[in-house]
C-alpha cells in the first residue's frame, strides 16, 4: 500500500493539518508520500520531509500551481495517482475544493471528512452535522479520502529528514485564473489549531463589541477568536472565523461560547472540544446541554469580569 | 444565458436526525423534508441573475424519489422556469449524481451550473466539484459572490484564510455558500403559478448511469453525547474551576 498525502501549506510554511493528515495516512498502513504543490514552496516541502512517517516528499513547484487552484492541482494529482493505492488530503477548504475533482477524474467515490480509520478500507465519517457517524467500506480499487484534521494527532518531527524530489507538472487545464485574495490578517493564533478559543454569537451585536468585549479576554488567554454563523452573517467578524458544520471544525482544549445559543450546526464544529464553557443569559439555551461549565449571565458583564480575573491571575 | 441548478430533498436542518437502533441507517420516518439550504441559495442566485436580465432560462434538476418533485416545485415557485426529475428510489452517491448531471448538462447546454456547496444530510461536499471535473469546466466553489460577464464569471470564494476570487471562462460551475444571498420565500401567487410550470421526468438509466453505490455502509451509530456539566454561580467560581478542576487555565 502506498498513500499520497496532499499537503496543506502556505508555500513558506507547512500547516499543522498536513502533519495530522500524515498521521491519519499512517493508520491506513503502508508507505506515506507527501505532495507539496505550489509556487516557491521549497520551504514547505522541507518541513514535510522532516515529519515522522513520511517516506518521500514530492515537490511540484511552478507558477501554474500558485494559489493552488483546483483545476491544475487536480490534474497534477491525477498524473501521479497511478502509483498510489490511496490519495488523501486534510478536509480544509483547499482539500475540499481539489479532492472531489481528483476522485471524479479517477472514477472513485470519495470518502469525505474521515474521523476514524478502522482498517485499510473501513472508515468512519460524520453525517447530519455530526449527529450520526457512518462506517463505510470502500469497494473502489483506489481510495480518495479527505480527513478531518482535528480528529488525528499531528505527526511528530523525525530524527532524519527524507529527501525532497521534484516532479513534473502537467499542462494547466486553463479553466480558471486567480484574480485576488483577501486574507484575514491577525496576530492571534489560528482558529484551527488554537489551544483556547473564545467564540461570540449574535448577542455580541456589533463588530466593535467583538473587539472591545471579546478580544481582551482572548488576548489575555492567548486564544483565537471564533464566531457563530449569525455573527459572521451580520458582518461582525470575517467568514474564516465561523465555527460549525459549514465553517471550521475544531477541538481546542477550552472553548468559551459567549452569547451563542448552541444550534446543531454550531455544535457540529466544537463539540469535540476538551472543555466547553458557555456564557448565556438564557438558562434554557441548548449550548448548556454540552457545556462542562455554564454561566447564566449577561455576557457584557461576565466577559469583562472574566477578563479582569484572568488578567489579575496573569500578573500574580 | 441558461442556468442549470441542481437541488436535493433533505431532512429539515432544524431536525435532529437519529440512527436506527439496529445501526442500518438513519430514521427518516415522519421527518420533515425540505430543499437543501445551500441549494435554495443556488436557486435564489439564478433567479436574481434572471431578474437583472443576465439569464433568460433557469432549469432545475433533482435526482431522487418521486417526492423530490415537491422540491422542484419549490424552486419553480422561487422563479425557476422548468424542472427535471431524475427519478430513483436508490441512495445515489455524489459520483453517480455528478455523472447524471453531466448527461443532463450535455443535453441542456447551460452556460452556468449552480449547486449547493454541500448537502446537509451526507455532508459530502463533492457533487459540484465532481461534475465540474467530468465536464472539464472550471469551478468556483464555496461562493459568497458571483459576478457574471458575457464570456466569463468571477467567483469570490470563502476559504480558510479569508476570501479568494477566481475567474472562470463560461461554461463554468459554481457551488453556493451561505453568504451568497438570502433566499426568498415564494409568494402565494408564485406558488400557484409554479403548479403550471413543466416538470419532465427521467430515470438514471435513461442517461446510461449506473447508480450502484461504491461505498457499503457497514454501520451507522450516534457518537457518545456530551453530558451537560454544571452551572457555576459566578465568574469567580468559573475561573477557579477552570484553573483547579479542569486545569485549562493557568
Ligand atoms: C445549512 C446551515 C448551515 C449552518 N452552518 C452553521 C455553522 O457552520 N455555524 C454556526 O454557528 N451556525 C450555522 N448555522 C446557523 C445555526 O442554525 C444558527 O442559526 C446559528 O448558529 C445561531 O447563531 P447564534 O447562536 O450566534 O445566534 P442565536 O441563535 O440568535 O443565539 C444568540 C444567543 O445569545 C444569547 N444572548 C443574547 N443576549 C445575550 C447577552 N447579553 N448575554 C449573554 N447571552 C445573550 C441568547 O440567549 C441566545 O442564546 C447553519 C444553519 C444552516 C441552515
Over the stretch B116-146, which tens digit does the pLDDT of each residue have?
999 999 999 999 999 999 999 999 999 999 9
Mean pLDDT, residues A2-29 taken together? 97
- Check if the beta carbon of residue B33 is closer than 8 Å to that of residue B10: yes
Predicted confidence at residue B74, as pLDDT, reads 98
Mean pLDDT, residues A277-305 taken together? 98
Predicted confidence at residue B163, as pLDDT, reads 97
Q: Which of B116, B159, B246 to mutate to test the interface with A (most CBs of A within 10 A)?
A: B159
- Beta bridge partners, B10, equal B34
Over the stretch B73-105, which tens digit does the pLDDT of each residue have?
999 999 999 999 999 999 999 999 999 999 999
- Residue B118's contacts (CB-CB under 8 Å, 6 or more residues apart) are A246, B38, B124, B125
Residue A316 has pLDDT above 70, yes or no: no
The minimum-distance atom of ligand 1 relative to the CA of A231 is: 26
Over the stretch A32-78, which tens digit does the pLDDT of each residue have?
999 999 999 999 999 999 999 999 999 999 999 999 999 999 999 99
A300 in ligand 1 pocket by Cβ < 6 Å?
yes
Question: 3-state class of A145 per DSSP?
Answer: strand
Q: Which residues of A136-155 are buried (b: 16+ CB within 10 A; e: fewer)?
A: bbbebebbbbbbbbbbbebb
Residue B248 CA to its chain's centroid (Å): 39
Q: Tell me what ipTM this predicted complex has.
A: 0.96
Pinpoint the residues of chain A covered by CATH 3.40.50.1220.
191-315
Mean pLDDT, residues A176-202 taken together? 95
Q: Which residues of A163-182 are buried (b: 16+ CB within 10 A; e: fewer)?
A: ebeeeebeebbebbbeeeee
Over the stretch B167-189, which tens digit does the pLDDT of each residue have?
999 999 999 999 999 999 999 99
A209 in ligand 1 pocket by Cβ < 6 Å?
no
Nearest residue, CB atoms, A296 vs list B18, B231, B242: B231
B92 phi, psi to nearest 5 deg? -105, 120
Nearest residue, CB atoms, A294 vs list B215, B232, B249: B232
Range of the domain at B127: 2-246
Domain count across chain B: 1
Band of the pLDDT at A186, cuts 50, 70, 90? confident
Q: In whole angstroms, what is the distance from residue A256 CA to residue A200 CA? A: 8
Contact B223 A130 (CB under 8 A): yes
Residue A315 has pLDDT above 90, yes or no: no
B121 in ligand 1 pocket by Cβ < 6 Å?
no
Dist. CA A109 → ligand 1 center (Å): 34
Over the stretch B16-26, which tens digit does the pLDDT of each residue have?
999 999 999 99
Q: B87 to chain A nearest CA, in Å?
A: 21
Class of CATH domain A191-315 = alpha beta
> Which of residues B228 and B38 earns the better pLDDT score?
B38
CATH code for residues A2-166: 3.40.50.620
Q: In whole angstroms, what is the distance from residue A299 CA to residue B151 CA? A: 51
**Is residue B129 within a helix (H) or strand (E), and if so which, with residue range?**
helix B127-135
Q: What share of chain A is helix, strand, coil (3-state, %, to 5)?
A: 35, 30, 35
Predicted confidence at residue B225, as pLDDT, reads 85
Predicted confidence at residue B250, as pLDDT, reads 80
Mean pLDDT, residues A101-110 taken together? 98
How many H-runs (helices) and E-runs (strands) does chain A carry? 9, 16
- Residue A138's contacts (CB-CB under 8 Å, 6 or more residues apart) are A109, A111, A121, A123, B214, B215
Q: Which of A309, A310, A313, A316 to mutate to test the interface with B (most CBs of B within 10 A)?
A: A309
Q: In whole angstroms, what is the distance from residue B44 CA to residue A247 CA? A: 21
Q: In whole angstroms, what is the distance from residue B241 CA to residue B244 CA? A: 5
* Assessment of whether the complete model's pTM goes beyond 0.90: yes
Predicted confidence at residue B61, as pLDDT, reads 98
- Check if the beta carbon of residue B141 is closer than 8 Å to that of residue B63: no
**Is residue B57 within a helix (H) or strand (E), and if so which, with residue range?**
strand B57-64
Q: What is the CA radius of gyration of chain A?
A: 21
> Which of residues A193 and A20 earns the better pLDDT score?
A20
What CATH number corresponds to the domain at position B64? 3.40.50.620
Largest CA distance in chain A: 61
Band of the pLDDT at A314, cuts 50, 70, 90? confident
Residue B215 at interface with chain A, using a CB cutoff of 8 Å: yes
Mean pLDDT score of chain A: 96
Residues of B in contact with A176 (CB under 8 A): 138-140, 166-168
Over the stretch A216-251, which tens digit does the pLDDT of each residue have?
999 999 999 999 999 999 999 999 999 999 999 999
User: If you take atom 15 of ligand 1, which residue's CA is the nearest one?
Assistant: A229
Q: In whole angstroms, what is the distance from residue A7 CA to residue B19 CA? A: 34
Dist. CA A232 → ligand 1 center (Å): 10
Predicted confidence at residue B73, as pLDDT, reads 98
Amino acid at each position: 500500500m502506498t498513500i499520497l498525502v496532499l499537503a496543506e501549506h502556505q508555500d513558506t510554511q507547512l500547516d499543522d493539518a498536513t502533519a495530522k493528515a500524515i498521521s491519519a495516512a499512517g493508520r491506513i498502513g503502508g508507505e506515506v508520500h507527501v505532495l507539496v504543490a505550489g509556487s516557491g514552496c521549497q520551504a514547505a516541502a522541507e518541513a514535510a520531509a522532516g515529519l515522522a512517517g513520511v517516506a518521500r516528499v514530492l515537490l511540484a513547484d511552478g507558477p501554474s500551481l500558485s494559489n493552488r487552484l483546483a483545476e491544475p492541482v487536480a490534474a497534477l494529482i491525477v498524473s501521479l495517482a497511478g502509483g498510489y493505492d490511496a490519495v488523501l488530503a486534510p478536509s480544509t477548504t483547499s482539500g475540499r475544493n481539489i479532492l472531489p475533482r481528483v476522485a471524479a477524474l479517477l472514477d472513485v467515490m470519495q470518502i469525505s471528512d474521515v474521523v476514524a480509520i478502522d482498517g485499510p478500507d473501513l472508515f468512519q465519517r460524520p453525517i447530519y452535522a455530526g449527529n450520526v457517524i457512518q462506517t463505510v467500506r470502500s469497494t473502489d480499487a483506489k481510495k480518495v479520502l479527505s480527513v478531518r484534521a482535528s480528529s488525528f494527532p499531528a505527526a511528530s518531527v523525525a530524527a532524519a529528514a527524507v529527501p525532497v524530489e521534484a516532479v513534473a507538472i502537467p499542462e494547466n487545464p486553463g479553466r480558471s485564473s486567480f484574480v485576488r485574495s483577501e486574507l484575514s490578517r491577525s496576530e492571534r493564533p489560528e482558529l484551527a489549531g488554537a489551544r483556547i478559543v473564545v467564540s461570540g454569537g449574535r448577542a455580541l451585536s456589533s463588530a466593535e463589541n467583538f473587539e472591545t468585549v471579546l478580544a481582551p479576554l482572548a488576548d489575555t488567554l492567548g486564544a483565537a477568536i471564533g464566531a457563530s454563523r449569525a455573527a459572521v452573517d451580520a458582518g461582525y467578524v470575517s467568514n474564516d472565523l465561523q465555527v460549525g458544520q459549514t465553517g471550521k471544525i475544531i477541538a481546542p482544549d477550552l472553548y468559551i461560547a459567549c452569547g451563542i445559543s448552541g444550534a446543531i450546526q454550531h455544535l457540529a464544529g466544537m463539540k469535540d472540544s476538551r472543555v466547553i464553557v458557555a456564557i448565556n443569559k438564557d438558562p434554557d439555551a441548548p449550548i448548556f446541554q454540552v457545556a462542562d461549565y455554564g454561566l447564566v449571565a449577561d455576557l457584557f458583564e461576565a466577559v469583562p469580569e472574566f477578563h479582569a480575573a484572568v488578567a489579575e491571575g496573569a500578573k500574580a | 444565458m441558461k442556468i442549470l441548478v441542481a437541488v436535493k430533498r433533505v431532512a429539515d436542518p432544524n431536525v435532529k436526525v437519529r440512527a436506527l437502533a439496529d445501526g442500518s441507517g438513519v430514521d427518516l420516518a415522519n421527518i420533515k423534508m425540505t430543499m437543501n439550504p445551500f441549494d435554495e441559495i443556488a436557486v435564489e442566485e439564478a433567479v436574481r441573475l434572471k431578474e437583472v436580465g443576465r439569464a433568460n432560462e433557469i432549469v432545475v434538476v433533482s435526482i431522487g424519489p418521486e417526492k423530490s418533485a415537491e422540491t422542484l416545485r419549490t424552486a419553480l415557485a422561487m422563479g425557476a422556469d422548468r424542472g427535471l426529475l431524475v427519478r430513483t428510489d436508490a441512495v445515489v452517491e455524489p459520483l453517480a449524481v455528478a455523472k447524471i448531471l453531466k448527461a443532463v448538462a450535455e443535453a441542456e447546454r447551460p452556460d452556468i451550473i449552480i449547486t449547493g456547496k454541500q448537502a446537509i444530510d451526507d455532508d459530502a461536499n463533492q457533487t459540484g466539484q465532481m461534475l465540474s471535473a467530468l465536464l472539464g469546466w472550471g469551478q468556483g466553489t464555496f461562493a459568497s459572490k458571483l459576478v457574471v460577464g458575457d464570456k466569463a464569471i468571477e467567483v469570490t470564494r470563502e476559504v480558510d484564510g479569508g476570501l479568494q476570487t477566481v475567474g472562470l471562462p463560461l461554461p463554468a460551475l459554481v457551488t453556493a455558500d451561505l453568504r451568497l444571498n438570502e433566499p426568498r420565500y415564494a409568494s402565494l401567487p408564485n406558488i400557484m403559478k409554479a403548479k403550471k410550470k413543466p416538470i419532465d421526468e427521467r430515470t438514471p438509466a435513461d442517461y446510461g448511469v449506473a447508480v450502484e453505490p461504491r461505498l457499503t455502509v457497514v454501520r451507522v451509530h450516534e457518537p457518545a453525547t456530551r453530558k451537560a456539566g454544571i452551572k457555576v454561580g459566578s465568574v469567580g467560581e468559573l475561573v477557579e474551576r477552570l484553573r483547579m478542576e479542569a486545569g485549562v487555565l493557568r
